[in-house]
Structure 1
Amino acid sequence: MFRRREPVPFAFLAEADRFRSNVTPPPRRRASLGELAGRWLLGLTLVAGVVGALAVGTPALSTPSDTPVQQSQASPGH
């Protein structure tokens, strides 16, 4: 096979991994004290909700092992 002499279209995409920009991004803005407190409060509320749901739901999902299971019988009269 022979190589083509003309440039390949979109050849700049092949060199994109080697491209380094000289423009620095702006520095990140620090979160204020109120924003940090709000994030902590939201996270704490979510964790408390999950723990509360587990605490309320776990007894409902467990089967009592000390009481025998009673089965109802249909009356033979009808």
Structure 2
Amino acid sequence: MNDKSYQSNPDDRSDNVEKLQDMIQNTLDRIDESEEAMAFSTEEEKQMIQQKNQNRQMSIDAMRSEIKDEQTARKNGYTE
């Protein structure tokens, strides 16, 4: 075994809002692309796409909630 001590990286929340906004935009883009693909899909594929898009929408809602939390933390002077 190695005697080195390992430390986790400090929590850096400074750009979480921006990262979450990018993730939301990417997810919205995937929803749009999948809806376009439905025009060429079988009924079974359409159902799968619709389910995935519902899951994506739930993820977006959760990310938006997290953005609000992060913005509140910024206003309250969050520091590492």
User: Normalising to structure 2: TM-score of the pair?
Assistant: 0.40
Bigger proportion of residues as helix: 2
Q: Which structure has the larger Rg?
A: 1
More RCO (CA 8 Å, sep 6+): 2
